[in-house]
Structure 1
Amino acid sequence: MCSYDFSGGVDMEHSKQAAYVAATVAHEMGHNFGMEHDISESECRCPASECIMSPATGITPPTFWSECSMRALQHSLSRGMDYCLRNPPDKAFGGARCGNGISACINKCCNPATCQLAEGAVCASGECCDLKTCQMLAATTVCRHATNECDLPEYCDGQMEHCPADFYVQDGHSCPDHPDDYCYNGFCGSRDAQCQYIWGPTGSNAAPACYDLNLYGSSGGNCGFDYCYNGFCGSRDAQCQYIWGPTGSNAAPACYDLNLYGSSGGNCGFVHESSRFLPCDRKDVKCGRLHCIHENEKLAFGDPSTVYTAYTGLQLRSGEEVACRVVWTKYIGRKNERDPGMVPDGAYCGKDEMCVDAKCQNRTAKVLMAPKCDPPSCNNAGICNNMGNCHCEPGYGGPSCAIPGPGGSVNSGPAVEGGVIHVGFVVFWLLLVLTIAFIGASIIVKRKKDFWLHKQIWKKLKKALKIEKLLVPIRKAPPPPGPPPIRTAELNAIWGDTPSDASRTTRHQQSVPPSFSPPVVPCSNFAPFPSKPSIVHSNSMRPTAPPPQVPQRPRSDVLQALYAEKGDELGINSVKQESPMYCVPPESAAAVKIGRAESFRPVQAPPPPPHSSEVLLKLPLKFEFLI
């Protein structure tokens, strides 16, 4: 089907009926897919009297495939015979046009008469459209599975009927299952995996000496820590298993020296047009023809008529004998898909080097312009894709897989539905459940053992942590201080001072003496209070010496004598007062009142104000007196 030599065919049918022509074309194409004629009716059960792969047909053209044909098709697909059929076109050739007589509606979701969606239908095509209900598939539905370890799955988003574009692991990233190899163009460059792909499960990479055969440009050899490249891992072991089956694995390093010869046993490629093998340069021998070892008797890949094998035995200087097995095919795949018998792109070929197009190239320089993820490790919860975005594991999200989320990426869509885990909700419900459980346990313990569980736990916790109770002495608070004594009026009355003078005097005192009523002292025997305070603070930073005595106002008799002396000198008739200037009123039973006797106002009461008529009569007299 996909070989360079046998990919075409010519069918001829003499009938003019389309049904017979279609049956003949289907029969011949069945052979291309590896189907044989239905000989045994017991083994090849058919729903009708004859099936498409019957050796001969009757009057009625067949329309069914037999069970033998279905098994043969499944076997061919499992061996990779659809190598060239993995790139279906995005749309039909020429496109769909309404009115061209060709019905493009192949399901109940569209109306061919109007070329529009049927009533109630949301979609009619696409991987994310459920053709049974004509509705979008739910978000997180896988619409394209990962084909290998360097490929990534894609998911429906619940809004579009088409699956997102095909994304894969970033080029140059270590293969997830083969950390020694690298991904490139969506494939892993593992030699062991490729040998298993070709030879089956027992396939593996051959000895390193086998790759020297690639220098000769023969069929026996041509051009490992491997990398991802173009969505595939460059693992030699994986490629050997792909070719030879599960036992396939990479051969000894010596086998790759055969790639220097450019023969069927070792080369760096095969030119279909000229049927010529290309030899490898010395630095590229590990990137040429893939050498495997296996335990299979036959290939696990391709059709024997289009896949060829070669075997070379080497004896190393140490005396060890190694086997170098290679395959080459005439299959032609997609544009970027290489011969499966070659070392896959991304295979390790040196320190920070990987194979690309049968050349050993610097990995850093090759992926320099590739989009990068930040951080490159995606916080160990995902892997960087070819668009520079982290493809997160289920349960993680965000640009760097650092927060809870549904997984996937902004390119491939969400991986799981409702996978966003809010940590706050989890903590809240967890605390709520634990609180309810603790309250229930406390009530049960209280009823059975008559003590509260939380008090017992706190008691043991204090004992374990040695938490001592801090004892603070408790005493009765002192009574609030009483109102300060009002002495200003009393002192003013005694000394004859103004209130401002009294306030200045009290500011010099060290302490306030207790409230008391001043005794009644005769004016002649009156003496000021001592200036020394009655209470002295021993524990104080103020000076211990008392402040100087404030000058006192002379006594009334002294002032009266002074006024009389000065009046005689000036010739002023002084009025002799019959009583002293200061007098103390007699003490009553209610309280002792001190009043100020001295005043500059006249002693006699002022005359009453004159009437208006009297004022008018006196004014002319006053003016005459003045004139």
Structure 2
Amino acid sequence: LRGTLQLKNISYGIEPMEAVSGFVHMIYEEKYDNISVPLLGETKTYSYNNIYYHIRKSSERTEFFKLHPQYLEIYIVVDKNLLKPIGIQCRKPSDECDFPEYCNGVSSHCVADTYARDGQSCNSGDAFCFGGRCRIHTKQCRELIGGASRGGPFACYDEVNSRGDRYGNCGRTFCAYANLLCGKLVCAWPHKALVSRANLSIIYTHVREEMCVSTFRVTEKIPKNPWTAIDLPEERDDTFVQDGTVCGPDMYCLRFACVEVQYQIPTARCNSTYCNSHGVCNNLNHCQCEKGFDPPTCLEKKGEFGSIDDGHKAP
């Protein structure tokens, strides 16, 4: 389909896009030197909303289009007309380690997720953020087996994760003493009724005054390791302690090992001093400022907050 469309004394050419499959056309503004002479002859005048349009056509092709009518559907998109104003919240925080995001007034999509950098303290200083979530033993136990379960004491972990089987391990083998808290998740179970969860095999171990529970996720997949069913940290499921979970003073679990947090944080790129002690570093190593402080360095400014990544400030 080829032709010319005139709107408000401006002529637009319509040409097929031969290099593109399907009924795709290009529309462009026509410009020519002698504006007193039209490119094509004019026919009937049509009005729409009290605006008159002159439709030009070639007299040589009139009969062809009468016999073979074709239609071109045109969509006119008003730039930014449907975009929400800057500063409208588009994603709520899902955890105390997660931050809200806002529409930036430019994109039709919410900005990338931002959250506290791994190693930031949470749960009143008793836990660490990791991957945007506050990693707490008891929370993991209740998500896995429910009830009033809680994170097991060290004696439970010592008894279970030193076994080196499917219910207690640090991957291919048993956990070394320093890493006992970073293998299988061991929970304290206070109920008389047994745990009931689909596809979950459970062992109960009575240690001192606690009933310790450890689990194994039953699947149809044949395990690579017949003893522990897992070789690498990447193969872990929800029956293992999550990375970022506390395993000692200023230490958290990372890939089956209990490591010091300070050596895992890139403080040279972002730190409390850079944020002027009024913000924390996010996963992009930028300051997430408290209310009343302006990013990127959290200087005092009424009404400001957040980071340069959360979308609430004009890009």
- Which band: TM-score by shorter chain? 0.5 to 0.7
8 Å CA contact retained: 2:275, 2:298: no
Q: Which residue of 1 aligns with 2:244?
A: 346
| CA distances 1:580-624 after superposition (whole Å, capped 9, x unpaired) | xxxxxxxxxxxxxxxxxxxxxxxxxxxxxxxxxxxxxxxxxxxxx
Find the counterpart in structure 2 of residue 150 from structure 1. 97
Deviation of residue 163 (structure 1)? 1.8
Correspondence list, 1:318-329, <5 A:
321-329=209-217
What does 1:426-505 align with in structure 2 at a 5 Å threshold? none
Equivalent position amino acid for 1:411 in 2: D
Correspondence list, 1:569-608, <5 A: none
Q: 1:402 aligns with which of 278, 294, 299?
A: 299
Distance 1:405 1:337 in 2: 46
Kindly report structure 1 stretches of 4+ aligned residues shifted beyond 6 Å.
Answer: 113-116
- Report if the CA contact (8 A) 1:397-1:406 is conserved: yes
Aligned to 2:206: 313
- d(CA) in 1 for partners of 2:198 and 2:147? 22
Deviation at 1:378, TM superposition (A): 5.1
Flag the 1:354–1:159 CA change in 2: closer, same or farther, 3 A.
same
**2:191 matches 1:191:** no
Q: 1:369 to 1:375 in 2, by over 3 A?
A: closer
Matched, 1:288 2:183: yes
Candidates 280, 285, 296, aligned match of 1:388: 285
SS where residue 267 of structure 1 aligns? Answer: coil
Aligned partners of 1:162, 1:324: CA distance in 2, in Å?
Answer: 46
- 2:272, 2:280 within 8 Å by CA — same for their partners in 1? no
Given that 1:178 and 1:190 are in contact with CA atoms closer than 8 Å, whether structure 2 keeps it comes out as no
Equivalent position amino acid for 1:206 in 2: G
Contact 2:189 2:211 in 1 (8 A): no
Query: Once the 2 structures are TM-superposed, how far is the Cα of residue 394 of structure 1 from its aligned partner?
Result: 4.1
Instruction: Please tell me whether the aligned partners of residues 292 and 324 of structure 1 are also in contact (alpha carbons under 8 angstroms).
Output: yes
**Which amino acid counterpart does residue 207 of structure 2 have in structure 1?**
L
**Contact 1:378/1:400 (8 A) holds in 2:** yes
SS state of the match for residue 379, structure 1? coil
1:178 to 1:398, Cα distance in 2 relative to 1, 3 A: same
Say whether 1:168 aligns with 2:115: yes
Deviations 1:486-518 (A, max 9, x none): xxxxxxxxxxxxxxxxxxxxxxxxxxxxxxxxx
CA drift of 1:152 comes to 2.1
TM superposition shift of 1:411: 0.7
- The structural deviation recorded for 1:324 is 1.0
Taking the aligned partners of 1:405 and 1:114, their CA distance within structure 2 comes to: 50
Q: Which amino acid aligns with 1:168?
A: Y
User: Taking structure 1 as reference, are residues 309 and 146 closer, same or farther at Cα in structure 2, changes over 3 Å only?
Assistant: farther
SS at match of 2:210: strand
Deviations 1:310-350 (A, max 9, x none): 221112xxxxx211112332689xx9795222112112222
Offset, 1:143: 2.3
Cα distance between partner residues in 1 of 2:216 and 2:290: 38
Question: SS of the counterpart of 1:210?
Answer: helix
Residue equivalent to 2:162: 260
Counterpart of 1:119 in structure 2 is 76
Distance in 2 between the 1:203 and 1:115 partners? Answer: 62
Contact 2:294–2:304 under 8 Å retained in 1: yes
Question: Is the CA contact (8 Å cut-off) linking 1:406 and 1:414 kept in structure 2?
Answer: no
Instruction: State the SS of the aligned residue for 1:365.
Output: helix
Question: Superposition pairs for residues 522-561 of structure 1, below 5 Å?
Answer: none
CA distance in 2, matches of 1:115, 1:375: 58
For 1:338 and 1:138, the matched residues in 2 are separated by: 42
Distance in 2 between residues matched to 1:395 and 1:115, nearest whole Å: 51
Q: Secondary structure at the match of 2:162?
A: strand
TM-score (norm 2): 0.63
Q: TM-score when scaled to structure 1? A: 0.34
Q: Does 1:206 align with 2:163?
A: no
Identity %: 30
Deviation at 1:145, TM superposition (A): 2.6
Query: In the alignment, is the contact (CA less than 8 A) between 1:262 and 1:279 conserved in 2?
Result: yes
1:137 is matched with which residue: 69, 74, 84?
Answer: 84
Normalized per residue, the structure richer in helix is: 1
- In 2, are the aligned partners of 1:344 and 1:355 still within 8 Å (CA)? yes
Contact 1:379 1:402 in 2 (8 A): no
Q: How many residues align?
A: 235
Q: Work out whether residues 171 and 182 of structure 1, in 8 Å CA contact, stay in contact via their aligned partners in 2.
A: yes
Runs (5+) with no aligned partner, structure 1 = 1-97, 102-112, 124-133, 214-257, 270-276, 316-320, 418-627
In structure 2, how many angstroms separate the alpha carbons of the residues matched to 1:376 and 1:411?
Answer: 16
Counterpart amino acid of residue 339 in structure 1:
D
RCO greater where, 1 or 2, for CA within 8 Å and sep 6 or more?
A: 2
- CA deviation vs aligned residue, 1:252-289 (integer Å, no higher than 9, x gap): xxxxxx201112332224xxxxxxx6321221111111
Distance 2:89 2:22 in 1: 35
Is 1:292–1:325's contact at 8 Å kept on the other side of the alignment? Answer: yes
- Structure 2 CA distance for partners of 1:338 and 1:266, relative to 1, 3 Å: closer
Residue 210 of structure 1 aligns with an amino acid whose one-letter code is C
Shift of 1:409: 0.8
Equivalent-residue separation in structure 2 for 1:143 and 1:391 (angstroms): 17
| 8 Å CA contact 2:97, 2:134 repeated in 1 | yes
C-alpha separation between the residues in 1 aligned to 2:86 and 2:195? 41
TM-superposed deviation, 1:207: 1.6
Which secondary structure state, in structure 2, belongs to the residue aligned with residue 265 of structure 1? coil
Structural RMSD (CA): 3.5
In 1: Cα distance, 2:195 partner to 2:129 partner: 25
Report the CA distance shift for 1:306/1:369 in structure 2 as closer, same or farther (over 3 A).
farther
- Find the aligned partners of 1:120 and 1:207 in 2 and give their Cα distance: 62
